Structure 1
Amino acid sequence: MLHLGGADGIAEGLEAAETVEIEVASALEAAGTKKIRVQVSKPESFAGRDGYRPDFLDGWPIPLPEPQGSLKNDVRRLRRGGDGYELKYQHFSTVQSISRRMPMFVGVNIDGSKERKIVRTSTPWRFDGRLDVADQIGDDVYSEENNVLDRGHMVRREDPIWGPMKTAAQANIDTFHFTNAAPQMAAVNQRTWLGLEQYILRNTRDDNMAVTVFTGPVFTDDDFPYRGALVPKSFWKVVAVVTDDGRPSATAYEVSQESALSALEFVFGAYQTFQVSIREIEEKTSLSFGDLAKYDGFSATERTHGKRTRARLESLEMVRV
């Protein structure tokens, strides 16, 4: 884990540029004695970010998920640069878990009619200065050769890259914050989620092409301990669109990486992806998605028959929107 003395340690250097470098102790070295330099984004550099927009889908307001029960006490509030617990970026927002030091969930708006193509370069990952460095999992978990854990973008890099080029470029950079990353096996990060939003986007109204997506890890008591972090065994995604026939539709998905985590090595075929009900995601995460389950066929089936409904996806064509 990376350690920082506290809020003042960041605030002292955050005055000149959008990011600063600070020196912290690396837990990978014995007794954490080795100092490394990390980049931190200034709190004021996020001024004007729109964040996730609940009113993004025409006529269908969808607020961010609400933590329930004891989960409310695990939400990290901003330490500086704003109030509340929503970390706003360009076209997306994240909410940080105190206990896990990673996103509890993220929400992003995608406008496929205004998408931009920005080639991925060696953009550095940064800490968000609105929190302490110690509130966020950094490269201690991901560094070292042959480490099969990726900094898994919870908001995929491509998703918020739309609108005017300056705005799209800012969204691209914003996705490279540790508050948008969770430890994922490489195949989950690089392949499993890759085409889902694009596939669903093709099923939206041609005059809209708008999608709202929530993503996050499933936290359990027996998640895999690794380098001072707990690696989630599965991740979830909830997608809301207005279909090409004008029907509001919400669908949910879960991908498991549990089989591969036992040895922290890549095992082909170990990543099972399911379409599931929003009700199941709510039960597993203690998050409330408001009335989204009303627009989810899997949740409707569960209410009617009283049995959990899930379907293993062998291809994207099996998705039921």
Structure 2
Amino acid sequence: MGFDARFLGVEAALPRVPESEADATVELDYVHFTVLLDTARRLARVTGVNVDGASLIDLARGDDWQLDDRVPADWQAGPEVYAANDLDRGHLVRRRDPVWGARPVATRANADTFRYPNAAPQASGFNQSKELWLGLEDHVLAFAEVNDLKLSVCTAPVLEPGDPAYRGIRVPLRFWKVVAWRTDGAADVDRSDDGATVDGGALAAAGFVLDQAPVLDEGELERGARPVEPGVAGVPQLGPFRTFQVPIADLAALTGLGMDEYVAADRFPPTLAATGWRRLDEPGDVML
């Protein structure tokens, strides 16, 4: 159950919530993934999933979203947020990522991804950039093929105070993702006397941001126009999905989460970090 920080054979833990926010955070373990639920925002602060690409199982998708009965319903952004509007229940942990291993285990993992703590409101419909966001893990998985096809992936909304209010929550306009893998390709690891994993593997990681903030055209920018501020009763204005590869240090600063090991393992070229985020239009734009 839950996210395994040693899944890759090297340490790759969940990003850490600041101590000042720990009392408002609940850890929920599912099959092969974990959600750190922000009970004040009613959305995930962090999710983490272990992906064994060599033993993924193809199961029917389904669409049976359920509240997690281990925590109160009013701690979760439940079905009322998505009723009679164009908002999608966006999976944070992708449905297929934890669906691996023995079939009964994979079947439970598949169902577990349809729990409301693993959802966040996203713009409805697909466009090229949204498809790119959903396919990033596949692209990195192919890149990591020599490393037993294993990934650890952390994803969550960027929970900002200025996010638009709607039906008792604030709808996030940006999402972040860190994809991590091991670079040495060693399939076997030794166990020391105390049970710890010992090997010479090295962690590698890449960081990404998905932005669905409203986009103004050039004329509107020149006129100083701003997106219409939605009321609590109105569906928030959301823009087209834009995907960026970013320095993981920027993600740590943006989210306030502890990501030291991922920052140290980042594959974003330091020479480019000062030039800003890298807009992605296709998988080949990713720098690994």
Q: How high is the TM-score relative to the length of structure 1?
A: 0.73
* CA RMSD, Structure 1 to Structure 2 (Å): 2.3
Distance 2:135 2:90 in 1: 15
Equivalences for 1:131-280 in 2 at 5 Å? 131-144=71-84, 147-187=85-125, 191-206=131-146, 208-243=148-183, 248-259=203-214, 264=236, 270-280=240-250
Deviation per residue, 1:85-119 (Å, 9 max, x gap): 32110000001002210111100000000010012
Question: Percent identity among equivalent residues?
Answer: 36
Distance 2:147 2:275 in 1: 35
- Alpha-carbon contact 2:179-2:205 (below 8 Å) kept: yes
2:220 paired residue number: none
Distance 2:126 2:164 in 1: 16
Distance 1:66 1:320 in 2: 25
Matched, 1:98 2:39: yes
Partner residue of 2:4 out of 41, 53, 64: 53
Paired amino acid for 1:71: E
- Work out which structure has the larger RCO, using CA pairs closer than 8 Å and 6 or more positions apart in sequence: 2
Distance 1:219 1:301 in 2: 29
Deviation per residue, 1:170-193 (Å, 9 max, x gap): 000000101111111124796342
1:308, CA displacement in angstroms?
5.9
Distance 2:81 2:121 in 1: 8
Equivalent residues, number: 254
Paired amino acid for 1:254: V
Give secondary structure in 1 for the equivalent of 2:134.
coil
- Alpha-carbon contact 1:293-1:300 (below 8 Å) kept: no
Paired amino acid for 1:68: P
Give secondary structure in 2 for the equivalent of 1:255.
strand
Distance 2:24 2:34 in 1: 17
Distance 1:107 1:216 in 2: 9
Matched, 1:296 2:266: yes
CA change 1:281–1:187 in 2 (3 A) is: farther
Deviation per residue, 1:196-238 (Å, 9 max, x gap): 1011000114351000000001111210111221000100000
CA change 1:172–1:161 in 2 (3 A) is: same
Paired amino acid for 2:115: H
- Alpha-carbon contact 2:147-2:182 (below 8 Å) kept: no
Deviation per residue, 1:48-87 (Å, 9 max, x gap): xx110001002x1111111126433431xxxxxxxxx321
Give secondary structure in 2 for the equivalent of 1:128.
coil
2:198 paired residue number: none
Q: Which runs of 5+ in 1 are unaligned?
A: 1-49, 76-84
Q: Which runs of 5+ in 2 are unaligned?
A: 186-200, 216-226, 229-234
- Alpha-carbon contact 1:92-1:108 (below 8 Å) kept: yes
Give secondary structure in 2 for the equivalent of 1:168.
helix
Give secondary structure in 2 for the equivalent of 1:235.
strand
1:63 paired residue number: 13
Paired amino acid for 2:24: D
Give secondary structure in 1 for the equivalent of 2:254.
helix
Q: How high is the TM-score relative to the length of structure 2?
A: 0.81
Distance 1:207 1:140 in 2: 42
1:19 paired residue number: none
- Alpha-carbon contact 2:247-2:268 (below 8 Å) kept: yes
Deviation per residue, 1:18-48 (Å, 9 max, x gap): xxxxxxxxxxxxxxxxxxxxxxxxxxxxxxx
- Alpha-carbon contact 1:205-1:243 (below 8 Å) kept: no
1:320 paired residue number: 287
Distance 1:278 1:101 in 2: 25
Distance 2:20 2:159 in 1: 13
Deviation per residue, 1:129-172 (Å, 9 max, x gap): 2111111111111011xx22111111010100011111110000
1:284 paired residue number: 254
CA change 1:153–1:74 in 2 (3 A) is: same
Paired amino acid for 1:256: D
- Alpha-carbon contact 1:68-1:286 (below 8 Å) kept: yes
